[in-house]
Amino acid sequence: MKTSTLIGPAALCVLVATGFALLRGGSDPAPSTTASRPERAGLGATATNARGRTPVAQVEVVGLMVQRTLRAKPEFGEALPFMGTFAHTRLALEVSRGSGGIVDLQRDACKLTAFADDRGTSLLPTELHDNPFEMMPAVAADGTSLAFVLASKKSPDGGASSIDVTGEIALLVASKKATETSAAVTLEPGAQLEVGPFTFEVEGAAASEWSDGWALTLQTKSDTASILHWTLVDESEVETELRPTSSWNGMGTWSQTLECDVAVEDAALRLEYWFDAHVERVPFDVSAAVGLR
């Protein structure tokens, strides 16, 4: 059953979210069903993924942003209700999993079958390469919830009263950790590092372009989302923690840049990672009231 309530009064732009700081914190697991909770300022739209069976996770609307194309084109830097002058809609959703273990959102494996207002205006992307599931979801520290944004380059009809979304979330979940260490190598371009299920090739090892430290860039054919900590270990077992700074992936390749304060020439790579990570599919069917006139 789909549920919804009105978010706010009529306005050109509607924003109903306190940001991803709404994610649950602490170590206590969240309940596995959507529970009643105090209303948060400006927030009224809630919904769960009800398909006639008990879901493994709950999905609810936590924010909505709508903007029409502006007729006035402000100068760059002038204050705007929201970023940009083009029509767009952004719907923030939060997934809650009572048993915890949420690692990441596999956005390329997510599906969106419907994204439209109640007047029949489709908000689905028209370009094949446009992924409505935005990058960089926010994961709660205890792994019980994840927030992400669905984005459209369109705005709903001016007379619309709600936006309805149906699809399936591909959630990367895990419960068991492992720590493994490669053989020591000279960290230079072309060097190979094998750690558990991961095989890395060193792309670069040099002074960082963005800080006073040293940067190591590794490339692999395996998804690195399940890796928790990266450490270099020298022959005396002295550990140097690596800080992930930037990454990209595409065409089956993942590249990760990591930094530390001092240069390291010869070392082994030690990883702590989720070794039982797998994708859990969560269907959802949600609705959010627009209040836009």
| The residue to which tokens 């019980």 are assigned | 144
- Quote the DSSP letter at residue 262: S
* Phi-psi map region of 26: left, alpha, beta (phi>0 left; psi -120 to 50 alpha): left
Q: Which of 32-46, 50-64, 171-185, 222-236 has the lowest mean pLDDT?
A: 32-46
Question: Is 5 inside any structural domain?
Answer: no
d(CA 292, CA 40): 20
Check: CB of residue 232 under 8 Å from CB of residue 270. Answer: yes
Domain co-membership, 135 together with 28: yes
Summary count for the chain: helices (H), strands (E) = 0, 18
pLDDT tens profile 75-85: 655 445 555 55
196, burial (CB in 10 Å: exposed 0-12, middle 13-18, buried 19+)? middle
The DSSP annotation for 101-160 comes to -EEEE-GGG-EEEEEEETTS-B-S-SSTT--SB-S--EE-TTSSEEEEEEEESS---TT-
| Better pLDDT: 182 or 70 | 182
Question: Is 1 inside any structural domain?
Answer: no
CATH of the domain at 145: 2.60.40
Domain co-membership, 47 together with 114: yes
Between vectors from CA 34 to CA 33 and to CA 39, what angle results, nearest 5°? Answer: 160
| Mean pLDDT across 113-127 | 94
Question: Is 190 inside any structural domain?
Answer: yes
Domain that holds residue 233: 177-274
Does the predicted TM-score (pTM) go above 0.75?
A: no
Domain co-membership, 167 together with 33: yes
Check: CB of residue 25 under 8 Å from CB of residue 140. Answer: yes
